[in-house]
Each structure stands twice: as structure tokens, then as C-alpha cells.
Chains A and B, each alone.
Chain A
């Protein structure tokens, strides 16, 4: 299981630090699909990157603990961390095209990033619903669609059968027509590998459909967390109610949209 305790993270730039996470605590049960929702700038993506202590420029964990199946990632050495990232973590990023190197063929990237060669690479792509895997392997990222690129990114993320898959808004850059297909595939792959999934998303419908648990973030803090049905059907935090009310289909006839001040 993944356990975060009072995680504080800054983005440090030339002009000083900017606190993005203000003491986040989460407990993600093993094998669960755990969604993290919240508005833009709430710290969801930073949380996703901080879990694997990704080498993202400026990302600086300040305090708190990160535990994956009993292993402390916050105190792990760079060497230990590299092994954890490679063997235990799988990341799927928001922009599928940006997550593939534009100068390399898909086949080469599957070899370098996931160790997938020959028939294994073809099989991995076919399993994700790519109709002509051989052709895709010989293509560059700009020659395939966004949906296809995201399937390739999923193939890379799940290839080493990670224990934790972190998907940071994996369908936000995709057409509405392929979002559901891609999420179906991602969740199915995750369940098949018996992996835990942290799904960072804006899409509350997707949360309702796929997630077992959900945490709601606002201004770098978790304001509410629990089983998906309980949180979405009877939210206890004011911000969760505001977030739910802001989704399409929840507005009242004749209601005016008024900016809402929410205390963090």
C-alpha cells in the first residue's frame, strides 16, 4: 500500500521556493484505484510527481514520509530510488505526445523505456487495442494519434508490472471519443497486473466509474478523502460540494455562475 504522511513539497526556483503541498496525508490500499481530484493548481500533479520523487526541475520535498509497501521513498538514496522507479512505479502523463521522444521511433522507445523488443512489443501494443502494431513500432510520435500515443505510454508504464501506477490526468489531452476507451484500458491493465493506481483527474464521472476511493485536494491540502460513493454522494467538506456543483449537469435551471470563495 501507499502511505503519505504530512507531505510538504515546494517548487524551488531562482526567486525562491513556492509551497505547493501543505502536509498531505493519504493511505491508498493495495490493488485499489484511488482518485485524486481538485481544481487546477490544487497540487494534484505535484503530489503525483512527489510520490516517485521524480527529477522534475524545482520539485523539492521538504518534510513528511512516503511509504510504498513498507519502503520509505522519502529517505531512499538516489540509487535505491532509481530502482524503485524502474521496478515498482509506472507513470502515465497528461500529454501523450509529450511523453514520447519525438526523435525516436515508438519501437526504440519501447526498448529503452520498457525493455520491450520484438514479439513482446507487438503483443503489448496489440493488447492495448493498437490494430497495426508493427507499423506503430516503426512510426515516430508525430505520425500517430493522441489516443494511440497514450496507449503506447500505457504500454511503457505497465511493461515492468509495477506495483503502483500513477496516472496524471491521462485523458485530459485526448478527444472525448477516446477518453473512455483509454481509461478502460488503463484500469483493465492495472487490475490485470494487480497494481494499485493513483488516478489524478478533473473528470468526476471517471472517478465515479473507476475509482474505489477518492481524495479531494484544494490549495495543496486534502480536504476530504474516503470511499468514492461516500465522498461524491454525501460530501462533508464545503469545497467538495462546490467542486461537485461546478460539474456540467449539476447546475440548477436559471442558476447564475458566481465565483465562490473557499477557505483552504
Chain B
């Protein structure tokens, strides 16, 4: 393996650095509690940002810094878990569809098209409404929404690689179709899978925030960036920081993930070599 390559584009590198900082803060907060307890009362309600409470307090007097850090962790974790499942399942289906072709490809392709035909947020609401609202249904929703894109990307890549001479050569040498798929096709489409997974995480965060904003995702006292925005709505005129801080963090996280995706894509395609 030649390893994962990353673009040298300054914007992508800055985005990667910002993402590392955000994730590090989330991890540090979870492990050490250095940013405070997200559920405990820290001060008077609706206090503006100050030295003791850098992001202010919410309507109950909880530290918005602690809740935002916990929310980053929650949102990224939920989206990553969902995308990981979608990537593993989608890559397996896409690989088989692209390599085997024919009827198998038609069936898998139609299934992906069916999932694609639902508007993402409608499908998310449907899943969350069918099951108990919470982290599990948020993960299920994000998984099902990001799955068809993974299948399509992997299928197209596998189809292109399946006809390459080295795959044919391995079959000539006696390799089975399954062996050729695992040993030759899969490693050669890994770059596309990783890039798609990165984009899917940012899309997953949008969906997760959307359903949490609608009250169908993460439930109190846990916080996600979407639920923080939902909780802050009535206080927008009184405490605008309650909306701006999680909104800005959400926007920056999604932007960073997308730019990291661009950086990975450029690195794999060698466009900045």
C-alpha cells in the first residue's frame, strides 16, 4: 500500500488542523471535564459570554462552552458511527455490484436508487418517528441516507477497476472472483471510499443536526449541535450567543470536514503533486 495521501493545499491543511482542534477539545472535555459539566448549573441563566463563562450560559444556567464541547463530540461521534456502518455495508454492496455486474448490479442499483429517491430529511423524520427518538434512530437515519451514495461511488469505481489488466491477470493466474475483488479491486478503490466517507460524515452531521433540531434525534440531557440550536430558538432576541456559538461551530465543523474531503481527494488523484 502506498498509504493515504493528503493535499498540500493550505486551505485543506488549515481545515484539517481546525478539525483536529475541535475533535481534540471534544475528546479532552469527555475525558477530563476540563470545560465543565455540560449538565450542571454553572451560573445564572442566559449570561452573556464572560471570562468565567467564555460562551455564556443557557436558559437553565448551564455552561454553553461545556455543552458545545459535549455536542461536538456527540454530533461527530453519531455521524462517524453511522457513516462507518454505511461505508462498510455500502462498500461491500458497491464492490459486488460493480465487479459482478448483470442482474446483481441491477438489483443493488435499484435498491440504492430507491433509497436515493426519498428526500434525506423526510427519510430521517420517518425513521426517527418509527422508532424511539434518540441516538440510535439518528444513527439509523444517517446510515440509510448516506448508504446509497457510498454504493454508487464504490460501484462506479469497482466497475472501472474490474476491467483493468491486473485484475484480469490475477484471474488468469487462477484467482477466484472473490479473491480478485478483495485483493486487487478493494485496495484500488480505497481512496474513493475514504473520500466519500469524509463527505458523508459532513452530510451526516447536517442530517443529525436537522433531526435533533426537530427533537427527533439526541434527547436531553445529552446535547448535539442541532439540539443546542433547537433549545436556543426562543431566546434568540435575549441571548443570541446561544444560537451563534453552536451554529458557528456546526458550520465550521462541516466546512472543515468537506475541505478535508477535498484534500484527500486531491491527494488520491495526485492533482497537487
Contact = CB atoms under 8 A, between A and B. Distances in A.
Chains A and B come from one and the same complex: yes
B130 interface: no
Interface string B152-177: 00000001001111101111111111
Given A103-B2, A103-B188, A55 B171 contact: yes
Interface in A150-194: 153, 156
A86 B184 contact: no
A61 to B, nearest CB: 16
A57 B168 CA distance: 10
Given A57-B159, A101-B184, A103-B188, A89 B172 contact: yes
A100 B184 CA distance: 10
A95 B165 contact: yes
A102 B163 contact: no
Nearest to B168: A54
B172 A93 contact: no
Contacts of A114: 173
B220 interface: no
A138 interface: no
Contact of B173 (A98, A112, A140): A112
State the main secondary structure of chain B at its contact with A: helix
A16 B132 CA distance: 48
Interface in A33-52: 52
A98 B183 contact: no
B228 to A, nearest CB: 43
A250 B221 CA distance: 86
Given A57-B101, A103-B2, A112-B183, A86 B164 contact: no
A99 interface: yes
Contact of B169 (A93, A94, A103, A140): A93
Given A52-B172, A85-B171, A103 B164 contact: no
B207 to A, nearest CB: 32
A18 to B, nearest CB: 16
Nearest to B163: A57
Nearest to B172: A85
Q: Which of B1, B101, B165 has the most CB of A within 10 A?
A: B165
B54 interface: no
A144 interface: no
B187 interface: yes
Nearest to A103: B187
Nearest to A86: B174
Which size class do B's interface residues fall under?
20 to 34
Contacts of B168: 54-56, 91, 93
A217 to B, nearest CB: 21
Contacts of A101: 166, 170, 184, 187-188
A93 B162 CA distance: 15
A113 B168 CA distance: 11
A91 B169 contact: yes
B187 to A, nearest CB: 4
Nearest to A55: B171
Interface string A80-108: 00110110011101110011111110000
A93 B167 CA distance: 12
Contacts of B172: 52, 54, 85-86, 89-91, 113
Nearest to B183: A112
Nearest to A166: B172
Q: Which of A91, A99, A103 has the most CB of B within 10 A?
A: A103
B188 A156 contact: no
A54 B183 CA distance: 18
B164 A98 contact: yes
A99 B101 CA distance: 22
Contact of A93 (B2, B165, B175, B187): B165
A93 B164 CA distance: 10
B170 A112 contact: yes
A142 B198 CA distance: 27
Contacts of B173: 85-86, 112-114, 156
Nearest to A153: B169
A262 to B, nearest CB: 30
Contacts of B177: 55
A80 to B, nearest CB: 12
B195 to A, nearest CB: 16
A113 B172 CA distance: 8
Contacts of A94: 165
B2 to A, nearest CB: 6
Given A95-B165, A98-B164, A99-B169, 11 more contacts: A52-B172, A56-B168, A57-B163, A86-B173, A98-B165, A99-B166, A100-B166, A101-B166, A103-B1, A103-B2, A113-B173
Top 5 nearest A-B pairs by Cβ distance?
A86-B174, A99-B165, A103-B187, A93-B165, A113-B173
22 contacts: A54-B168, A55-B168, A55-B177, A57-B159, A57-B162, A57-B163, A82-B174, A83-B174, A85-B173, A86-B174, A89-B172, A90-B172, A91-B169, A95-B165, A98-B166, A99-B169, A101-B170, A102-B2, A102-B188, A112-B175, A112-B183, A140-B2
